[in-house]
Structure 1
Amino acid sequence: MKTIIIECPEAPNMLIHNMEAAARDDGIEIAIQPVSKEDLNTWSDKADVILLSPQERFEKHHIQETIRRSIPIQMIDMVDYGTMNGRAVLDQVKKILRL
């Protein structure tokens, strides 16, 4: 089971649903947790990857500095986020984690 954190407490349910559906199609077990920036350190201990919503693009460096462990942190493509393209976001995660 891979745990994906999306730094955006209001992460669209449709995006999460579409990512979960794509993972099922690929036979990958994932858990996706949307969290606020303030809760990232708490959740980062449980995560395999952290995805940042497009609105956080200017905070990536700061977030990397505040996370207590080495973990991949990547931006979600703005178009994929806006169109709720769960397949594309899952494919991004698969590349990061080499699945």
Structure 2
Amino acid sequence: MKIRLFCNAGMSTSLLVEKMKEAAKEEGLDADIVAYPLNELDRHIEGIDVALLGPQVGYQKKKSKQIADKHNVPLDVISMTDYGRINGKAVLEQAKKLISSKP
């Protein structure tokens, strides 16, 4: 499962990425989770299973979704609550739901 998180600079989500990796390991999931700056979305979208935007760049969802849709990658914005609480388990669940809803 390849999950990519996109935010302003790719750094603010590093703690969340680590918590998501821990949650995936607890569930026995093989998850490749990495964060990048949003301006690199088009370079890192191909071949992934899901893209998540940090809430601070949620206003870019429409534009980002157009890029993701071209590659058949589901995309959504992480909730401010889960992001703020660094709730890796909840964000991992969000990613899994998006992947399972993929046509």
TM-score normalised by L of structure 1: 0.89
Structure-2 residue corresponding to 1:15: 16
Moved more, 12-21 or 22-31: 12-21
TM-score normalised by L of structure 2: 0.86
* RMSD over aligned Cα atoms: 1.3
Count of matched residue pairs: 97
Cα shift readout 1:23-65 (whole Å, capped 9, x = no counterpart): 0111111111111222111110131100000011111001122
Give 5+ residue unaligned stretches, structure 2: none
Question: CA–CA distance in 1 between the matches of 2:34 and 2:73?
Answer: 15
Give 5+ residue unaligned stretches, structure 1: none
Moved more, 22-31 or 62-71: 62-71
Structure-2 residue corresponding to 1:91: 93
Structure-2 residue corresponding to 1:66: 67
**Runs of 4+ in structure 1 displaced over 3 angstroms?**
none
- 1:31 maps to 2:32: yes
Percent of aligned positions that are identical: 31
